[in-house]
Amino acid sequence: MATNEETQLDNKVLMTPETQPNDELMTPETQTNDVMITPDAQPNDVMMTPETQPNDGMMTPEIQPNDVMMTPEKQPNDGMITPETQPNDGMMTSETELNDGMITPETQPNEVMNTSETPVNDVLTTSETQLNNEVALMESLPNNELVIADTQPNSHLSVQEMYPDNELAIQEIHPNNELSFPETQPGNMPAITQPNNEVTSQETQPNKRRKKKSIVWEYFTIETVSAGCRRACCKQCKQSFAYSTGSKVAGTSHLKRHIAKGTCPGLLRNQGNNQLTPYTPRMGGSEPPKRRYRSPSVPYISFDQDRCRHEIARMIIMHNYPLHMVEHPGFITFVKNLQPRFDKVSFNTVQGDCVATYLREKQSLMTFIEGIPGRFCLTLDLWTSSQSLGYVFITGHFVDSEWRLQKRTLNVMMEPYPDSDSAFSHAVAACLSDWSLEGKLFSLTFSHPLSEGGLEQLRALLCIKNNLVLNGQLLLRNCIARTFSSMAKVVLEAGQGIVKKIRDSVKYVKISESHEEKFLELKQQLQVPSEKSLSIDDQTKWDTTYQMLVAASELKEVFSCLDTSDPDYKEAPSMEDWKLVETLSAFLKPLFDSANILTTTTSPTAIIFFHEAWKIHSDLTRSVTNEDPFVIDVTKAMLEKIDIYWKDCCFALAIAVVMDPRFKMKLVEFSFTKLYGEDAPAYIKIVDDGVHELFEEYVTLPLPLTPTYTEEGNTGVNVMSEESQGGGFLSDNGLTDFDMYIMETTSQQTKSELDQYLDESLLPRVHDFDVLGWWKLNKLKYPMLSKMARDILSIPVSSVTVDSVFDTVNKEMDQYRSSLRPETMEALICAKDWFQYSSSEVSNALVKMEV
């Protein structure tokens, strides 16, 4: 029998779980002196666990030397006590009673030191046990028998590596009940003295019990109710559950459900305090093998009702879900099954959450806008509703401090009288006040032409709220997308008869599967090379009608053959009809190509559409001389539409071209010469004078710096403190007259930044040239001109969204959004637009300084 740490080992060896019985045994790293010392222990004729100090006793890690062995956090009491036990001259786990010995969880006291599951007598345990005149192995069994952890049947032992000085490491079992000692050294072998001299291997021992490894025992204790009856008690809520009655064991599945399914009241209370931690093996024992069954091994995440409400609000905003969905029975049932503790929210609650989310995003956007160094351009798009109400969508366009073109939906305002002259002026005034943009407005673009009365009211408003740039020549403009749509409607209305005939023919083929198969079979037989496929058009989108006409025109031979082979196919287009289809397609093609740029280009600029508008205008001007009366009538109607746009927007488009170092004034001169002929010099002079006048305004009346933004001064000299300027002399206002003298004497001799820029040679026309990036690189060379270029290049050409570029009807607010309060509708629409930019605004909202 193995004694405690003060007992001398006399021909008896203390044995770890891997040792084998055969009256002679030592662990692989024992030291001499015929005793066994666990790994890393010091040779002092005693057994010590790893990291203990040599004090003639065995101690577990981190305990104090008191000639006893104690587990962490226990007080010395002449015995070893595991965590959660009370000192009582012995070591016991959290669920056992103290009986002058160590009893691990779920075992009964027997004045012995036992492992986690087996009641043993006079046996040896590992580092979780206590030394109290008796020692037991980790997985030993009753009847004074020793369990060998890794043995093979037949209770045979094998020694693989021998150490000098009568030490032996045992690893494998060999048959014939003998110990094999390869590489042994001569000498006496230490003997194992177990009671009854019995050794039993793990696989041959009958009625073997395994150590409890389930995580549930971190949350439950075993209590003895009566003889032969034990119950599992929850540490959190103290509820009692069946465990064993006699030889019948209830298992642990019901215990897992109690702690894993969120039904334990004590567990739920402790989640908020983060009292639950993942399971970790007890100190002193080896980590248990991986469990093959599922267990709640992940830490619990506390439930947060407010966070869930916030995420529901974001979900509704991002995906345009109706606010009433939170009251739908299907949604309520789904959420209750997902999280039973989630409290149902009402329509009013989620409406408030969405508005609160909008206000948070708006505050972030306002901080971002405060750091924008240049001016802002606004676009206004008017939507209607079935209640004859109007909704003005206002979008801000600007170049940020990193010289990137940006846009944000700033407001969605309900106008009860959208046809009144004051509708747009009210919306603009509210937007300027709401976002503190007074004095920073550069341009306005409208989706619908304004009446004369509306123009006058808007001009009067801007004279008060905003400094007019070039007397307002850049403020009022038309939308290029709406112009293209109006021209396309002219074409389709002129050919509506043939368009309907083509639509009916395509519909005949597409609505029947057998008709379509026959049509494709004919196409293959005729070997028509067209790759176009037929599709019925959406009459609210003119591009779909154009694509339908083009596809049908390329497949006209198949339609002609179908007319002769299918008696049910009637009213097939004639050859004259197909010629008219080709004429309509020719009118629509340049419009489609130009408008498609708005949907495929990330940031379509005025530079691109100066050339597009000029080209369309030139083509229509030449078409007026055509001899076909139909062509002449359609051309004149289209030319009237493009003339209105060109006269209103030509100047703004032209100065944008001047700010492109690939074109400057040269492209303006070339285009105007082609368009105006002998009158071209007068129009060229208007653009040249306007650019110089605008530059003088930037020199004399620079834009005030924003509170969060600091940049170089008007003359291109960086802002410097008085100390860096050399004291008060250079910063003295008395030198103002000197500055005026310099300007007067050098103004006639030195070219301005604008003239220097215009005199330099053009840059090569490379693909995907970044105009804003070029000005960013040259802002030190042209400090004032670069500011003017930044504002000019932010002028938008379209006021509609990408999905509305080809619309032939006015955009209409749906019935659901029209039923909401105007503030709620604005919050939902604006916040959705801001979500896609919220992650990139943080860095730009900081205070910046340009050098």
pLDDT tens column, 451-499: 888 888 888 888 887 777 777 777 778 899 999 999 999 999 999 999 9
pLDDT (tens digit per residue) in 24-61: 433 434 343 443 434 343 434 434 333 434 444 343 33
Span 514-572, pLDDT tens digits:
999 999 999 999 998 888 899 999 999 999 999 999 999 999 999 999 888 888 888 88
Residue of 281, 10, 16, 12 lying closest to 136 (CA atoms): 16
Output the pLDDT for position 659: 96
| pLDDT bucket at 710, cuts 50 / 70 / 90 | very low
Residues 6+ apart with CB under 8 A from 272: 302
Distance between CA atoms of residues 15 and 137, nearest Å: 8
Residue 811 near residue 799, CB atoms below 8 Å: no
DSSP secondary structure string for all residues of 722-759: TTTTTSTTTT-GGGHHHHHHHHHHHTTTS--HHHHHHH
**In whole angstroms, what is the distance from residue 798 CA to residue 447 CA?**
8
765 CB neighbour count, 10 Å cutoff:
9
Determine contact, residues 129/118, Cβ cutoff 8 Å. Answer: no
Q: How many CA atoms lie within 13 A of 43 on its CB side?
A: 9
pLDDT in the model for residue 71: 39
Distance between CA 331 and CA 308 in Å, rounded?
14
Give residue 698's Cα distance to chain centre. 41
Q: How far apart are CA 374 and CA 788, in angstroms?
A: 9
Q: Is the dihedral of CA 19, 20, 21, 25 positive or negative?
A: negative
pLDDT given for residue 475 in this prediction: 76
Which candidate, 520, 572, 530, 526, places its Cα nearest to that of 550?
A: 530
* For range 397-413, the mean pLDDT: 94
- d(C-alpha 45, C-alpha 43), whole Å: 6
State both tokens at 714.
């008007």
What's the confidence (pLDDT) of residue 583? 95
| Residue that the structure tokens 């046809």 belong to | 419
What six digits make up the tokens of 22?
A: 């055969």
Average pLDDT estimate for 180-206: 42
Residue 447 CA to residue 427 CA, distance in Å, equals: 14
pLDDT at position 166, please? 40
CB of 208 closer than 8 Å to CB of 28: no
Each residue of 415-427: pLDDT tens digit? 999 888 888 999 9
Q: How far apart are the first and last CA of the chain?
A: 86
Q: What is the pLDDT of residue 734?
A: 60
Check residue 220 and give its pLDDT: 84
| Residue in the structure block whose two tokens are 């003298």 | 741
Q: Residues 740-754: what's their mean pLDDT? A: 70
Name the residue among 515, 551, 549, 546 with its Cα closest to residue 533.
551
253: confidence class by pLDDT, cuts 50, 70, 90:
confident
Percent pLDDT > 70 in the chain is: 63
User: To the nearest whole number, what is the mean pLDDT of the chain?
Assistant: 73
Percent of the chain with pLDDT over 90: 43
Side by side, which strands form the sheet with 179-180?
A: 167-172, 157-163, 179-180
| Predicted confidence band of residue 745 (pLDDT cuts 50, 70, 90) | low
**At residue 744, does pLDDT exceed 90?**
no
Question: In 275-346, which residue ranges form alpha helices assigned H by DSSP?
Answer: 305-319, 329-338
Question: What are 721's two structure tokens?
Answer: 């403190």
- Non-local CB neighbours of 726 within 8 Å, separated by 6+ positions: none
pLDDT in the model for residue 627: 86
pLDDT tens, position by position, 256-287: 778 776 667 766 666 544 444 433 334 444 44
pLDDT on residue 739 = 67
pLDDT score for 59: 39
How do residues 749-799 score in pLDDT, each as one tens digit? 578 899 999 999 999 988 888 999 999 999 999 999 999 999 999 999 999
Amino acid at 363: Q
pLDDT reported for residue 388: 87
User: If 0-12 CB within 10 Å is exposed, 13-18 middle and 19+ buried, where does residue 413 land?
Assistant: buried
Q: What is the mean pLDDT of residues 365-385?
A: 93
pLDDT-based confidence at 733, cuts 50/70/90? low
Q: According to the model, what pLDDT value does residue 703 have?
A: 58
CA–CA distance, 293 with 291 (Å, rounded to integer) = 5
Tens of pLDDT, residue by residue over 59-118, are: 333 434 344 343 334 343 443 434 343 434 433 333 333 334 333 434 343 433 333 343
pLDDT the model gives residue 798: 92
Instruction: State the Cα–Cα distance between residues 220 and 236, nearest whole angstrom.
Output: 8
Q: What is the mean pLDDT of residues 281-303?
A: 50
Of 360-369, 569-578, 702-711, 825-834, the poorest mean pLDDT is in 702-711
What mean pLDDT do residues 815-843 have?
85
So what's the pLDDT on residue 230? 85
Radius of gyration, CA atoms only, the chain: 45
Which pLDDT score is estimated for 779? 93
Query: Which residues, 6 or more positions from 710, have their beta carbon under 8 angstroms from its beta carbon?
Result: 719, 847, 848, 849, 850
Q: Report yes or no on whether pTM surpasses 0.85.
A: no
From the list 269, 334, 326, 344, the residue with the least C-alpha distance to 300 is 269
What pLDDT does residue 407 have? 93
Three-class secondary structure of residue 380 per DSSP? strand
DSSP H helix total and E strand total for the chain: 24, 16
- Whether 775 contacts 790, CB under 8 Å: yes
Length of the chain, please?
851
| Nearest to 611, CA basis, from 485, 491, 763, 480 | 480
DSSP 435-463: TT-TT-EEEEEESSPPPHHHHHHHHHHHH
- Assess contact for 584 and 787: CB atoms under 8 A: no
Q: Using CA atoms, how far apart are residues 393 and 414, in angstroms rounded to an integer?
A: 9
Which secondary-structure segment (H or E) carries 520? helix 513-526
What CA–CA distance (Å, rounded) separates 314 from 317? 5
Mean pLDDT of 328-334: 94
Q: Judging by DSSP bridges, how do beta strands 248-249 and 167-172 pair with one another? A: unpaired
Higher-pLDDT residue of 315, 724 = 315
113-163 tens-digit pLDDT? 333 343 333 333 333 333 333 333 333 334 443 333 343 434 333 334 434
Tell me if 828 sits within 8 A of 817, measured CB to CB: yes
Rounded to whole angstroms, what are the CA distances from 815 to 163, 388, 481? 89, 12, 26
Q: What per-residue confidence (pLDDT) applies to 455? A: 85
Residue linked to tokens 């897992």 = 256
Q: Is 287 exposed, middle or buried (0-12, 13-18, 19+ CB in 10 A)?
A: exposed
- Residues 620-660 pLDDT 10s: 998 888 888 999 999 999 999 999 999 989 999 999 999 99
Torsion angle (degrees, nearest 10) of CA 480, 484, 486, 492: -170
